[in-house]
Amino acid sequence: MGLAWKVTVTVILFALAAAAAVVLIVSLLGTPPTVDFTSQSPGAPINVSLQTVGSFGTGSHPTWVSYLVESPQGQWVHTTVFQVPQHTRVNVTIYQYDSGSPLRNQQLGQVTGTAANAATINGKAFRVIDSNSGNGIAHTFSIPALGINVPLYGNNANANLCGAAPCTSSSPHKVIRFSFTTPGPGNYRWQCFVPCGLGFLFGNGGPMSTLGYMGGFMKVVA
Ligand SMILES: [Cu+2]
């Protein structure tokens, strides 16, 4: 092989390695997509639907628990970032497909910060769930800066639960609804407070500390 060829091959291999490094870095830094609810009619209440699944089923972390957000067009998106207008009522519906367990902090069994400090499960109003009885709590939907916390009751762990997102209503699930009014503009962190990252230190690693799984941002815009 002549010198020119050696140089050419070396340059090509180096370029390929550099490109691979860039792709890797971008994917590691990449944030999940934002589902935008701001194009709906101004002033009207926004309907936001989420689902929780015990194992996402595909992708780089198929065993991780996850939230998903339904776009206004009805597509389930693997993200925990959504955008809503300021000072607007948000009606949240969460389709909860996971099993539950007793809470370590019983305070998280209480509904706070929502309209009338209440929520409904399968149409029935509730303000607190005793996680030490029944199926326990699967996840919470919490926005600490707004004082919002809603415990999501678990499904029977022995049932044939959905193991791959997006789950559909044919799998066992609970429907939890509540409302709140958005504050002024800002990025509001929201997350689950059940340490549901199974297999990670104290359950708080993995999906609990990765955007797009058990925590994200509500972007409130003017
Ligand atoms: Cu969780």
141 CA distance to ligand 1 centroid (A)?
8
17 CA distance to ligand 1 centroid (A)?
38
- Distant-in-sequence, close-in-space partners of 34: CB < 8 Å, separation ≥ 6: 79, 81, 82, 83, 219
Report, in angstroms and rounded to the nearest whole number, the Rg of the chain calculated over CA atoms.
Answer: 21
Prediction pTM value: 0.87
pLDDT tens digits for range 39-84: 877 789 999 999 999 999 999 999 999 999 999 999 999 999 999 9
- Report the distance separating Cα 131 and Cα 135, nearest Å: 7
Closest CA to 72 of 32, 34, 37: 37
pLDDT at residue 21 tops 80:
no
7 CA distance to ligand 1 centroid (A)?
53
pLDDT at residue 28 tops 70:
no
Measured in residues, the chain has a length of 222
89 CA distance to ligand 1 centroid (A)?
25
Task: Indicate the DSSP class of residue 89.
Answer: E
Band the pLDDT of 1: cuts 50, 70, 90. confident
pLDDT tens digits for range 182-211: 999 999 999 999 999 999 989 999 999 999
Closest CA to 182 of 92, 114, 89, 112: 89
Least reliable range by pLDDT among 11-20, 59-68, 112-121, 144-153:
11-20
202 CA distance to ligand 1 centroid (A)?
13
Return the pLDDT at 123.
97
79 CA distance to ligand 1 centroid (A)?
14
- Report the distance separating Cα 113 and Cα 142, nearest Å: 9
Band the pLDDT of 164: cuts 50, 70, 90. very high
68 CA distance to ligand 1 centroid (A)?
12
| Mean pLDDT, the chain, whole residue set | 93
**Do residues 109 and 129 lie in contact, with contact meaning Cβ atoms separated by under 8 Å?**
yes
119 CA distance to ligand 1 centroid (A)?
18
- Report the distance separating Cα 169 and Cα 46, nearest Å: 22
27 CA distance to ligand 1 centroid (A)?
24
For 39, counting Cβ atoms within 10 Å of its Cβ (0-12 exposed, 13-18 middle, 19+ buried), the class is exposed
Span 115-119, average pLDDT: 96
65 CA distance to ligand 1 centroid (A)?
7
